[in-house]
């Protein structure tokens, strides 16, 4: 009978929220060479993937990953490598499914509806081929016998293809687990303090404080310039009637050169 723990795991698996890195339809695009390798050497791939799923620690190995009634009763403790080799060759379908359940339980991965349809179609086709074979054996009809053989061939092709895609899917997921796709995406950086016109200038930003720009009122009036908007100058420069200049500049309207220029004794 199926253990209560197994039933609880099956129920919990329905509520998982994570998804496979690659679904079954796109596994051949995700890793074409490995998918071909899984197609022609399925048991060898199943052995390597189960060992990798256990982080290469065979002391943790249990037959069919503990999902079958015989699990833990096949001498796994004494020779786990031999037991795993026996499992993948004699119970290939169970070995693939067990590795799949291990990864789903570890990473909380749900099976999409598309994957369920593909796996369900494979199982139904296997059952249909088996029924046709039984009917052909009982009835002895040549036509039914040929139909059962065609169904068996189609069922085997679908079974091998789906198992190869499933194992490639497991391999890609463990590549993701082991960081073979590169570093994980960068986390969202924390919110930074931004300067605003209605806030004082932040002293921790690292930029120098703003400097006054040339414009009206620059330089400041304290340096001797007339203030902006004043009526100065309106009468020319220098202002009429001022005592400036007193050091040799000719006042406006006077004759040039002034009398007495050049000085006496000046030689031309």
Higher pLDDT pick, 87 / 202: 87
Q: Tokens for 54?
A: 């256990």
Residue that wins the pLDDT comparison between 120 and 213: 120
**Cβ atoms 52, 174 nearer than 8 A:** yes
Largest CA distance in the chain: 152
* Predicted structure pTM score: 0.63
pLDDT tens, 12-39? Answer: 777 788 999 998 989 999 999 999 999 9
**pLDDT beyond 50 at 92:** yes
Identify whether the C-beta of residue 104 lies closer than 8 Å to the C-beta of residue 19: no
In this prediction, residue 262 carries a pLDDT of 59
pLDDT above 70: percentage of residues in the chain:
65
- Rounded to an integer, the average pLDDT of 113-137 is 88
């Amino acid at each position: 009978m199926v253990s209560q723990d197994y039933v609880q795991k099956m129920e919990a698996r329905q509520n998982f929220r994570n998804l496979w890195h690659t679904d079954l339809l796109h596994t051949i695009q995700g890793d074409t060479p490995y998918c071909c390798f899984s197609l022609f050497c399925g048991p060898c791939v199943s052995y390597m993937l189960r060992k990798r799923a256990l982080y290469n620690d065979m002391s943790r190995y249990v037959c069919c990953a503990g999902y079958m009634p015989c699990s833990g009763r096949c001498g796994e403790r004494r020779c786990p490598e031999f037991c795993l080799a026996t499992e993948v060759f004699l119970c290939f379908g169970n070995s693939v499914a067990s590795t799949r359940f291990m990864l789903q339980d570890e990473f909380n991965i749900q099976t999409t509806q598309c994957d369920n349809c593909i796996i369900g179609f494979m199982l139904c086709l296997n059952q249909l081929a088996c029924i046709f074979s039984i009917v052909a054996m009982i009835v002895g009809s040549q036509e039914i016998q040929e139909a059962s053989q065609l169904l068996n061939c189609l069922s085997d092709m679908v079974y091998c293809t789906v198992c190869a895609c499933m194992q490639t899917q497991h391999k890609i997921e463990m590549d993701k687990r082991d960081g073979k796709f590169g570093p994980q995406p960068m986390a969202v950086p924390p919110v930074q303090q931004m300067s605003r016109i209605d806030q004082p200038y932040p002293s921790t930003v690292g930029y120098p404080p703003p400097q006054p720009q040339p414009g009206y009122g620059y330089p400041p009036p304290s340096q001797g310039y007339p203030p902006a908007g004043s009526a100065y100058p309106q009468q020319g420069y220098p202002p009429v009637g001022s005592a400036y200049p007193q050091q040799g500049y000719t006042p406006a309207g006077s004759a040039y050169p002034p009398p007495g220029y050049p000085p006496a004794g000046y030689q031309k």
